[in-house]
A and B are shown apart, each in its own frame.
Chain A
């Protein structure tokens, strides 16, 4: 679906698929695995740190919000492209998000008692070039994170 929109001159050079149970110890596992896979594009330390942080946020959302600490898996697909673009999908089959626009607002959280900062989507948005969130209540959520490596972020410019 997404491929129709990006008629860029680039080829997929590698792809990784990863399925993990939604338990909190896998937050570290997921970001380490994605970072190790992205290393073949020789990212800068800043780019790599941004990706790790964004993946950590997306995966934490699966564990805390989508499955609410109940059993389930999350599915990560990473595509690497020849123009140094990284595309990361994080999919869950959890409860879904009722109002995606609201969920993406800074400081919004449905779990105030849990000391959540409500900054997860804000971090993903700021640390990556592009964030898309598609969700259906009762079905699950798909988060797509895209970043072209070696580009300066808005802050650095």
Chain B
């Protein structure tokens, strides 16, 4: 297997920019990512995309949107799953030697569709939809459990929320809350595109290792605060890279709300059980750009976290190691973890 390097990346976060269609947003972000990698569309050997039909409001979205991601007469596939999972598949394409350069892109435009209703449609029509469940509601249940079990969550939630930056005034950008979540702990909906260029030639960031795991669909079958899939995925990624959790300098953790991010910090081993919120409040290592409050729309977010981690490694003055995670829909049923190593 060959080593894989991250050559370029781009993230665009906008809101209701009427001057741009969805395909315009994808085209511009992908072009920027290719630019940072110093290559043209012609150099791309394969493309792996992540997008959801229902978020995009297009019955088979990649039919209309894939060509905006430099796929013309190319080897291309699309996941209806989180962007970090697409990154893992893109990494495999280069690692195996099947292509030398692979573009990975993911997007979601929250301003075009009814995000809360779409999240409701994720749930079982027999057992959960009649109960008005959304993913925010699941985060609310996670938060309630944390506040009940761990005193640190109550103590540090205010300070951790304050680090997430100023919340936009537009009420349509924040979902209706579910107790005990507070407004500053919720995601801020955005029109998000992320793109990453992977290659076999040495580049500024190396992909050290990857991992992935899956939880049951039924919420009652899961350990809602233990994030079993993320524990497994990050342990695999760390083992694959030959590093331990303590040596991670840069953490970019995907979570819908502040509480999901705090639980993710525990699951990857960056904080002890019950100390995740304290880490978010006090450590500059985690989600330096504000996490889900800096703009959120599935299924782009795992790839956003990878791109943000890569940026931070590129900008670091010393050689550092980063860990990025991505969570799928239905309240983080599938999780992927990626270890990145700066040059």
A binds B: no
